[in-house]
Structure 1
Amino acid sequence: MNQKFNLKNLAPHILAVVVFIIINVVMYWPLFLENKTLNQNDILQGAGANQEIIEHREATGEEALWTNGMFSGMPAYLINVQWSGELTKHIRKVISFGLPSPANHTFVAMLAFYILLLVFRVNPYLAIAGGFAYGLNTFFLISVEAGHIWKVAAISYMPLVLAGIVLTFRKKYLLGFVLTALAMALEISSNHYQITYYLLFIVLIFGVFKLIDAIKNKTLPEFGKTIGILIIAVLLGIGANIGKIWTAYEYGKYSIRGQAVLSSNTQSTGGLDRDYAFAWSNGIWEPLTFLIPNFYGGASQEEVSMNSKLAEGLRKQGAGSGQIRSFVKSVPTYWGDQPFTSGPYYLGAIAIFLFVLGILVVKGPVKWWLVIASVLGIVLSWGDNFEAFNYFMFDYFPGYNKFRSVSMTVTIPFLCMPLLGFIGLQKLIDEDWNKTKKSLFYAAGVVAGLCLIFIAGSFMMRFRGTVDPQLGDQAWLVDLIRDQRASMMRGDAFRSLIFVVLAAAVIYFMGENKIKKYTAILLIAGLILVDYIPVAKRYLNDENFKRDVKGSFFAKSQADERILQDDGHYRVLNLNNPFNEARTSYYHSSIGGYHGAKMRRYQDLIEYHLQSEINELIEGLRAGNTDFSDFDVINMLNTKYIKFGAEAGQVIVNQAALGNAWFVRNLQKVNTPDEAIEALGNIDTENTAVINSSEFTVAENSFMDGTIELDSYAPNQLEYSSKNADKGLAVFSEVYYPKGWKAYIDGKEVEILQVNYVLRALEIPAGEHEVVFKFEPQAYYIGNKIMMGSSIVLILLLLGSLFYSVKKSKVV
């Protein structure tokens, strides 16, 4: 007989959910109690990029799939597309209990890690403490604060994927299959393939150990069966997201993450530029922030107390209270290798202590899997500070060169290290105390010893930062800042030492039966919260929450009002950091924007022509010159308005903008993209177009003039009327993209030509014609149907497995 369904068995799981919700209310209480939202830069920039897409959806009920809001036009796949076939979004809402973003992601991270620990047979109450460690580390919460919501969503589902895989290898085939398929569907739906790629490293290392084990035990058929089940589960998870994957893959080939177009680009084999990818690389010693958060001085700029030695030193130099208060709010305390950081990646002193304990008490493949994966993640995060290995990975490991900010590989140890730590603590609890207490002393000694070393070392290290030379010849100020860095390291090293000693003491007294097991677990959980939350609050606190953040950020300026009096289709150039902001895109079509995967050709256009033209334009404006007729690339993008401030008078109408479309008289033919982009700088774009004749065939070299007007504009459909006495070549100020755009003249499909390196053109016969462009990517329409079917199968399997589990738990 099977046991009856027992509510008592659910008690720890219900408690876990309740406790995780409470902790999230504490962490994000302004979100719940004050009607505030997080002031997240990436979210705000994303809102600017999304706006045209959202407005089109609300007005028509259909997806735009393309937007002119940024970079003169690009696919909307990686910006904001809703998929009717994505039924897993309803599952996301259910498992996050309807919590608002970003609290929902922190909750799911805690719950998923809790489930993973249960799979490894960790006591449920101890697993709750593990959930705290995974969801409250600063790597996760700093990402939340920055608005990297897709990233934190992907991180939150990683433990569920591992839980499903482990269950399947334990011959829990039904549960393992369903959980793996569901978790993979949720993981991929987060739309952050870089994190999913790093999860693959963890899974591959796990799989290697399982293969070795199967060879040793001669169980290869069973191994093959398990792999087959997992492959089907993963394929089902992929199927539930195939449209997202397909469109992202398709667009990726044309983005800066795809193959270079120009031979002068060193990344001719595809992928990102190496310097760009490794720009954010951890220093060799930077992982010590896992243990001591202020080892490298915290964030690039930290607020320091008015009672600090730095403030006292400023007073002695004669600085007034106002000057001191202003300076201590943003002191350049960071002295590591990264160009900028929002804060340290703090894994937790107790988690590090437990990780070392796990290394000592856990035996077999599980230990080595998690240790190797952790080390790999750390080594990869070093980037160009460990060239020998990381350049090899970048150049030869499939897909690795598609991703930037390699410091993000700390995702791997931030999952694997606490996992081994809590498995180790559970093993210590389960085994003979007399045999394991030495391991406790060794682990505590190693980690506490490290803290003591850096407390002592803080009096001897130099704490030189890359920003120090920028302070000029003020040696006394540099010395004060370096003393502050030393004090910050020393303070946090001592702080971590205390937590290690306290956690070790609790475990020791539990082993000696001086404290009951569940009291000890409660104390460990409490210590983790007291350790994590204050450090997290340094970077995610009440000051990060504001009322009506979006409304304030996108408040319509007088400059916007003036431009919006024009109800036509045009583009705007914001001279204030145009290629790293998307606020302009909220109200206008922009030639700039904010996105990590802009089109490769458009990036080339920025580097070869746009940036130099913008610099020249600015210099001209400073000299009082408002004649923009020489800026051929800016003009061919229909840049009708130049904006350099928020006032109405800080907008200039560009009378030289070429409009939405125009007929050219001459066609200059070249044979390579290199020749095309070079020729673009030497032509009059109003009268001449450049075409790569090795890719597009046009018989004529000269054409008759004509007129063409835009009659109707939508992001995914443009309608023109043309009139020309003879055959003509019309150039459109729209970005060329071959996967989805179709052109029709009087209802008949015609070939779209690529001219001027990035724009579209059509050969138009003599007469009066209706010209229409439609964006109808098959990857979206077909992919959406496959997603719908796969999602239905997945949901049916989930419901079926739940029904089977409940039925099995009853008396038969």
Structure 2
Amino acid sequence: MNFKNITPHIVAVVLFILINLIMYWPILMENKGLNQNDILQGAGANQEIIDYRAETGEEALWTNSMFSGMPAYLINVQWSGELTYYIYKAVSLWLPSPASHTFVAMLSFYILLMVFRVNPYLAIGGGIAYGLNTFFLISVEAGHIWKVAAISLMPAVLGGIILAFKKQYLWAFILTSLAMAMEIRSNHLQITYYLLLIVLVFGLFQLISAFRNKTLPDFFKAIGVLILAVLLGVSTNIGKVWTAYEYGQYSIRGPAELTSNTESSGGLDRDYAFAWSNGIWEPFTFLIPNFYGGASQEELSMSSDLAEGLKQRGVGSGQVRSIVKNVPTYWGDQPFTSGPYYMGAIVIFLFILGIILVKGPEKWWLITASILGIVLSWGKNFELFNYFMFDYFPGYNKFRSVSMTVAIPFLTMPLLGFLGVKKLIESDWKDSKKKLITAISITAGLCLVLVITSYIMQFRGAVDAQLADQGWPVDLIREQRASMFRTDAFRSFFFIILGGGILYFWKAGKLKQNLAIGLFIAALLIDFIPLGKRYLNDENFQKNVKRNFFQKTEAHQRILQDDGHYRVLNLNNPFNEAKTSYYHSSIGGYHGAKMRRYQDLINLHIQQEMNALIEKLRSGSTDLSEFGVLNMLNTKYIKFGNQAGQVIQNNNSFGNAWFVENIQPVKNPDEEIETLGQINPNETAVINQTRFDIPQGDLSEGNINLKSYAPNELVYQSDNTQSGLALFSEIYYPKGWKAYIDGKEAEILQANYVLRALEIPAGQHEIRFEFKPAAYYTGNTIMMISSIILIIVVIGGIVYSFISKPDGQ
């Protein structure tokens, strides 16, 4: 092996590690953690699963910690067949999260540029640009860790696909199958779906090119290799894919059951999906980070224009310091943002350079994909196209927050940019000089034009009227937005001139190649690291983050004195928090894929009962007998604060199970949920007679008690004089739950829209519910076998590629 050939790759890995050391020093060297909201909320949802694993060594597969019960494999389940976990750990050099994902993102884009034979040292700059853009870092700060893991692997998957069309079939198969296995393992199908859109655009242009050049056999050969590679990569995660698809049919991403829901064809509600839509001008943040004022809440310095303006108005220093701590500087169209999506001024300049210099299908598919991603990110602000996509394009209506489609241009635009630099290096200076100057002039000139334009802009945001009502100095805030806009426009102008100047003097022979590339990488680092530190800085890192977030309050301690199986309703934003779930089974929770029927129950019954409950508690009454839906869900405790006195014990909850006296048959889900609000669930069960056989005859009263509880197994003892119908305060889910009466399987009925019910014969019986979904157990076996095949193929392919080389290569 020629050491000289691998030196650039070693340098790339070492430099990427050093950059991660700078970005994540508190994690790597000071034993701190990131204060990431989504990660912490996830930890709350995970806790019952983790505790069960520690106690039994088994996987829970189901959890009652959120939304009265849901499959655990959507939250935190370990798969013994998931050998790709160890592959990813090795590829990321066992770095802790999120440094591991940032490192993989840099390495992945570096590999993609290697596929295009870009200078390896220049490709290091591409890796830096991809791993340090604020779209990536803000996602890290928010705790969208599976999202960033999926984003980090997109370039590697694309690289493998491109190798197939370069007729390097062995390496195409190895890289595609390996990268695809890790991509699917990231378990963020939304990002993987956007990667598919990129590949579809790429494939379309390849097909057109093959048709024109009469190379269709080569095209279909590449497709065949890639299909096999993707199938192998997906099969290593088939259990995850299977369970996610299976559950998806019953979640808010699946078909609606109520006719009142206009999205009855399946998928998310349109308003919900498009709530986070970029404004038409929002992509200008790719070039100028503070184009729209930064984050919804920005901390400003005491020397900022806003602070100085407040001081001139006689506001005291202490009050000024308090005001500038959280300033609503953002004035764009989104309801909330943690910061702008900054691609890099130099990267935008390179993208324009690529448009000018690169020829052929490579340019056009990258431009097309970039435009597609931007247009999709506009969401409701470009209804004509995006509503059509949502209504008709397969699978697109399963995903929310369409602003996330910027993941597409954040991959394709830097790629075209660095291909432009490659073309510049290879081109004759006389031919490329004018084109380089044109690219510099367009991007740098745009920055200056925007500065001039800013003097006639109003910087008025949708929130300004509300801010004025709250007493904010809106006129000073708008001046601050203008100042931030101009400062960052000049900043981007400077980096474009710096980056363009380095390339100019390199091609003009004034700078040697190694020095020029070193200066170019330094320029990228000077641009990205300080900008990234605006949104991922020392304040985000803390000691004992999880322990501080989940401090056991007096309210928790009071409830935990009860060692039974019950549920808790936190009246403070219950359906957008999982702190409660850390200690208790919760009526609420924090997850983007609740069960469809449970969401219906929230919308039509739970929310109404909560509002009435709050009014009742304010009146001083603790008689909660009228709240039938909350009582049937075994809501034994109401929590509205952290003090022991801010917990109400509900003595009217129906408990874990009960016999009913009557059955109210209905014919459809609409009748089912409507009737639920008209009956007493303690006495009557509502059952859809078109789906289940209604028990006949008189129903007996009796006793039924929970004897043992585990997330995936519940055992009851019943005693009734004649046949009866028992309802259980557990969520009905048909894919995996089975019921046994004295060891004999019995049919589980769905009652009261969301609950389980059983027809129980007379006498004393042991009743056992067990959750063993075939998708998990069968899928786990397939994952193990496929992972072993993948490892053998990768190792075998690498060995073959080396031993098959002629001597001297």
TM-score range, shorter chain: over 0.9
* Aligned-partner SS, 1:458: helix
Paired with 2:43 and 2:471, the residues of 1 have a C-alpha distance of 44
Q: Does 1:230 align with 2:226?
A: yes
- Deviation, 1:648, is 1.2
User: Using the alignment, how far apart are the partners of 1:701 and 1:517 within structure 2?
Assistant: 90
On the 8 A contact 1:667/1:701 being kept in 2, the answer is no
Q: Separation in 2 of the partners of 1:292 and 1:249?
A: 40
Q: Does the CA-based 8 Å contact 1:98-1:104 persist in structure 2?
A: yes
Aligned twin of 1:260? 256
Contact kept, 8 Å, 2:665 with 2:694, in 1: the verdict is: no
Secondary structure of 1:255's match?
coil
Alignment of 1:479-490 (within 5 A): 479-490=475-486
Aligned partners of 2:380, 2:97: CA distance in 1, in Å?
35
The one-letter code of the counterpart of 1:75 is P
Q: Within 2, Cα distance between the matches of 1:161 and 1:781?
A: 28
- The residue type equivalent to 2:53 in the other structure is R
Tell me which of 571, 583, 586 is aligned to 1:587.
583
**Residue matched to 2:488:** 492
Aligned twin of 2:797: 801
Partner of 1:275: 271
**1:700: how far off?**
2.4
d(CA) in 2 for partners of 1:27 and 1:206? 34
Letter in 2 for 1:734: E
Q: Give the TM-score normalised by structure 1.
A: 0.99
- 1:656-671 alignment, distance < 5 Å: 656-671=652-667
CA distance in 2, matches of 1:108, 1:471: 42
Per-residue CA deviation, residues 288-309 of structure 1 (Å, 9 max, x unaligned), is 0000000000000111121122
Correspondence 1:578 to 2:546: no
The answer on whether the counterparts of 2:636 and 2:653 sit within 8 Å (CA) in structure 1 is: yes
RMSD of the alignment, in Å? 1.0
Change (3 A) 1:476 1:554: closer
State the Cα distance separating 1:624 from its structure 2 match. 0.6
In 2: Cα distance, 1:37 partner to 1:308 partner? 30
Q: Would the alpha carbon gap of residues 474 and 768 (structure 1) be closer, same or farther in structure 2, given more than 3 Å must change?
A: closer
Equivalent of 1:324, from 320, 325, 347? 320
Match of 2:17 among 18, 21, 28: 21
8 Å CA contact 1:458–1:487 kept in 2: the answer is no
Q: Deviations over 1:488-507 (max 9, x none)?
A: 00000000000001111111
Higher alpha-carbon deviation: 385-394 or 801-810: 801-810
Provide the rounded CA distance (Å) in 1 between the counterparts of 2:101 and 2:766.
49
- Which residue of 193, 203, 206 maps to 1:207? 203
Q: Which residue of 1 aligns with 2:608?
A: 612
Q: CA deviation at 1:804?
A: 1.8
Could you say what secondary structure the match of 1:801 adopts? helix
Structure 1 residue 809 displacement after superposition: 4.8
Q: Tell me which of 757, 760, 769 is aligned to 2:756.
A: 760
Asked if the contact 2:26–2:32 (Cα under 8 Å) also holds between the matched residues in 1, the reply is yes
Query: What are the residue-to-residue correspondences of 1:174-193 with 2, within 5 Å?
Result: 174-193=170-189
Structure 1 residue aligned with 2:307, among 305, 308, 311? 311
Among 743, 768, 775, which residue is 1:772 paired with?
768
Deviation at 1:212, TM superposition (A): 1.0
Distance 1:221 1:628, change over 3 A: same
* TM-score when normalising by structure 2: 0.99
**Per-residue CA shift, 1:622-670, capped at 9, x if unaligned?**
1111111000000000011111111111111100010000000011111
Match of 2:93 in 1: 97
CA distance in 2 between counterparts of 1:237 and 1:688 reads 50
CA distance in 1, matches of 2:69, 2:373: 36
Corresponding residue for residue 630 of structure 2: 634
The one-letter code of the counterpart of 2:13 is V
| CA distance 1:448–1:695, shift in 2 (3 Å) | same
Q: Does 1:34 align with 2:30?
A: yes
Q: Match for 2:528: what amino acid? A: Y
Structure 1 contact 634–657 (Cα < 8 Å) conserved:
yes
Letter in 2 for 1:268: S
Is 1:369 the counterpart of 2:369? The answer is: no
Q: Is the 8 A contact 1:755 1:761 kept in 2?
A: yes
* Structure 2: distance between partners of 1:751 and 1:522: 70
* Distance (Å, rounded) in 1 between the aligned partners of 2:467 and 2:153: 44
* Aligned: 1:171 with 2:171: no
Taking the aligned partners of 2:435 and 2:793, their CA distance within structure 1 comes to 44
Q: Counterpart of 2:524? A: 528
- Counterpart of 2:677? 681
User: Kindly tell me: are residues 472 and 431 of structure 1, through their superposed partners in 2, closer, same or farther at Cα, counting changes over 3 Å?
Assistant: closer
Q: Distance in 2 between matches of 1:274 and 1:97?
A: 41
Give the aligned partner of residue 213 of structure 2: 217
Picking from 717, 723, 727, the partner of 1:727 is 723
Gaps of 5+ in 1: none
SS at 2:278 equivalent: coil
Q: 1:139 maps to which residue?
A: 135
The letter for the 1-side match of 2:70 is M
- Tell me which of 646, 649, 657 is aligned to 1:650: 646
Match of 1:389 in 2: 385
Contact preservation (8 Å) 2:468, 2:474: no
Work out whether residues 676 and 686 of structure 2, in 8 Å CA contact, stay in contact via their aligned partners in 1: yes
One-letter amino acid matched to 1:153:
A
**Structure 2: segments with no counterpart, 5+ residues:** none
Distance 1:699 1:685 in 2: 17
SS in 2 for 1:472: helix
Q: Which of 5, 10, 14 pairs up with 1:9?
A: 5
Report the alpha carbon displacement of residue 704 of structure 1 after superposing the two structures with TM.
Answer: 1.2
Shift of 1:701: 6.5
1:430 aligned to 2:448? no
Q: Which residue of 2 aligns with 1:245?
A: 241
Q: Which amino acid aligns with 2:606?
A: L
Hey, what's the Cα distance between the residues in 2 that align with 1:270 and 1:186? Answer: 29
Structure 1 residue 225 displacement after superposition: 1.2
2:44 alignment partner in structure 1: 48
> 1:366-419: CA deviations, max 9, x gaps?
000100000000000000000000000000000000000000000000000000
Q: Which residue does the alignment assign to 1:57?
A: 53
| 8 Å contact kept, 1:463–1:482 | yes
Whole-Å Cα distance in 1 between the matches of residues 471 and 487 of structure 2? 24
Is the contact made by 1:667 and 1:702 (CA closer than 8 Å) also made in structure 2?
Answer: no
Report the alpha carbon displacement of residue 807 of structure 1 after superposing the two structures with TM: 2.4
Contact 1:286 1:336 survives alignment (8 Å)? yes
Q: Counterpart amino acid of 1:557?
A: T
The Cα shift of 1:315 comes to: 1.8
Partner in structure 2 of residue 713 of structure 1: 709
CA distance in 2, matches of 1:201, 1:437: 35
Give the deviation of 1:474 after TM superposition: 8.3
Write the distance in 2 (CA, Å) between the matches of 1:472 and 1:147.
32
Give me the whole-angstrom Cα distance separating, in 2, the residues matched to 1:194 and 1:94.
Answer: 25
